A and B are shown apart, each in its own frame.
Chain A
Amino acid sequence: DSGVTQTPKHLITATGQRVTLRCSPRSGDLSVYWYQQSLDQGLQFLIQYYNGEERAKGNILERFSAQQFPDLHSELNLSSLELGDSALYFCASSSRTDSTDTQYFGPGTRLTVL
């Protein structure tokens, strides 16, 4: 158990809908990261927040957004969902934000868009 929690574990929805994925980092960690794992793309970095502020962005679609709240939990919002958004979404956390900081991953949310 990494100490990172994610809810829900599974999510099934229809195209065009909007969903929210939630992540609670390990106790004391200030950085939260979101990654997407799809069959053809592997694990791809989406976005990072550090202590409430956006720190880095990857190949995140404009239909996706995220935020980190004062209690440090984070939410990833996915809207106007398409079939291709079906994937595993992982949250990770770390204590700092420098390149030598190890990231610990949550169990993931499996999103299925029908």
Chain B
Amino acid sequence: DQQVKQNSPSLSVQEGRISILNCDYTNSMFDYFLWYKKYPAEGPTFLISISSIKDKNEDGRFTVFLNKSAKHLSLHIVPSQPGDSAVYFCAASKPRAAGNKLTFGGGTRVLVKP
């Protein structure tokens, strides 16, 4: 049962343009969402997060939008840079669960072309 899904396995974008990555979830109990970036042979690097009480969070070039009614979140990267080429994972956690496990999507590979 895949509770967090990233339906686009890959995305190609021109340098300077916007990258939009999408993520859908099925469990309405999730209350915290995160985006991680991963380069080959490295661990996931935290990018940005959003609590379910918000619908938008910005940090520099990264903005995450949350649509709770649609159970959908997206990550916008503006402007995209070649160094942004990586695999991006969305992840979710839920409250009152024993512990704080993250449930990850399958990832989206982003290629930013110079």
Contacts and interface: CB of A to CB of B under 8 A. Distances in A.
Nearest to B94: A99
A86 interface: no
Contacts of B101: 33, 45, 48, 56, 58
B63 interface: no
Of B43, B95, B97, B105, the most chain A CB neighbours within 10 A belong to B43
A22 to B, nearest CB: 15
Contacts of A90: 43-44
B70 to A, nearest CB: 21
Interface residues of A, number: 32
A4 B45 CA distance: 11
Interface in A3-40: 4, 6, 31, 33, 35
Contact of B99 (A44, A56, A105): A56
A107 B107 contact: no
B44 A99 contact: no
Nearest to A101: B100
B45 A105 contact: yes
B103 interface: yes
A31 B43 contact: no
A42 B46 contact: no
Given A104-B46, A107-B43, A94 B100 contact: yes
Given A43-B89, A99-B95, A100-B51, A106 B100 contact: no
Nearest to B101: A45
Scoring A4, A35, A103, A108 by chain B CB atoms within 10 A of each residue's CB, the highest score goes to: A103
B43 A2 contact: yes
Contacts of A105: 36, 43-46
A11 B104 CA distance: 25
Contact of A55 (B31, B44, B99): B99
Interface of B: 31-32, 34, 36, 41-46, 49, 51, 89, 91, 93-107
The 7 closest A-B pairs by CB, nearest first: A56-B99, A105-B43, A55-B99, A43-B104, A45-B101, A99-B93, A48-B99
